[in-house]
């Protein structure tokens, strides 16, 4: 099976050169989507020798993933993996993420921060926001309670799932929207434990309280518009 990793990147010039080689060792091909970065993300990614796409303006992580996923399908990907560009996701865990798909046991696999694997450096406030998001996703969006981490950005899917799952949120609300769409389909969707590492840099740009409220608002708007 051809495994293609898609890495959405925005202003990640200082980190992406370290992330790409580690992800490339676990995938057949890597696609970086520079989402209108204001720094040297595009040139740094190009220098790593992987396929790099570029948005002229910052459109959001969801939009970058849609661009990268369509490209992955066009080059014959059998399995597509979504990985963050900031080094939070442990590339050593990608093989575990892909394995249920290659064994024919699942169509979509999510990496969860809440299945017994301790995420290094996760602040209490971040944990509380994520848990609140889980409750919101269950009761407001109808995402099954068995899913422990609706806002996880670490996921793998086979080509069939990538073609069939429709998501419209261009920014961070895409995570829950994508899981909601997948869980309502006939696709086999599972979670596995995933280790995520938080640093002062990644926390500075991560979801804050206002980000979480904006995600909730965008998801509610999208749900009522359907």
| pLDDT score, position 207 | 52
Q: Note every long-range contact of 180-185, with CB atoms under 8 Å and residues 24 or more positions apart, other chains counting.
A: 180/137, 180/141, 180/142, 180/143, 180/150, 182/107, 182/108, 182/157, 183/143, 183/144, 183/147, 184/142
- Segment 66-110, tens digit of pLDDT: 999 999 999 999 999 999 999 888 888 999 999 999 999 999 999
Tell me, what's the pLDDT at 147?
86
- CA distance linking residue 130 with residue 149, whole number of Å: 7
Domains and CATH numbers, the chain: 3-225 (3.90.550.10)
More confident residue, 201 or 131: 131
Three-state SS letters, 152-189: CCCEEEEHHHHHHCCCCCCCCCHHHHHHHHHHCCCCCE
Write down the mean pLDDT value for the chain.
Answer: 85
- Report residue 56 as tokens: 């002229």
Task: Report residue 93 CA to chain centroid gap.
Answer: 14
* Per-residue pLDDT tens over the stretch 124-183: 676 677 666 666 666 566 677 788 888 888 999 999 999 999 878 888 778 888 888 898
Residues 6+ apart with CB under 8 A from 90: 194, 195, 196, 197
């Amino acid at each position: 099976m051809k495994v293609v990793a898609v890495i959405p990147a925005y202003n990640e010039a200082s980190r992406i050169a370290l992330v790409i080689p580690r992800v490339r060792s676990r995938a057949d091909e890597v696609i970086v989507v520079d989402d209108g970065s204001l720094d040297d993300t595009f040139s740094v990614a190009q220098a790593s020798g992987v396929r790099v796409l570029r948005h002229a303006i910052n459109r959001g992580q969801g939009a970058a993933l849609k661009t990268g996923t369509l490209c992955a399908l066009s080059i014959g990907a059998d399995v597509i993996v979504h990985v963050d560009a900031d080094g939070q996701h442990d590339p050593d865990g990608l093989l575990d993420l892909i394995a249920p798909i290659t064994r024919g046991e699942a169509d979509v696999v999510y990496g969860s921060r809440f299945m017994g694997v301790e995420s290094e450096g996760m602040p209490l406030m971040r944990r509380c926001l994520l848990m609140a998001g889980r409750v919101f996703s269950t009761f407001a969006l109808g995402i099954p309670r068995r899913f422990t981490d609706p806002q996880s950005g670490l996921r793998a899917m086979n080509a069939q799932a990538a073609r069939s799952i429709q998501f419209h949120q261009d920014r961070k609300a895409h995570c829950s929207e994508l899981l909601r769409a997948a869980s309502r389909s006939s696709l086999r969707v599972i979670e596995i434990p995933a280790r995520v590492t938080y640093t002062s840099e990644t926390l500075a740009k991560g979801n804050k309280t206002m980000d979480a409220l904006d995600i909730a608002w965008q998801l509610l708007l999208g749900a009522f518009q359907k």
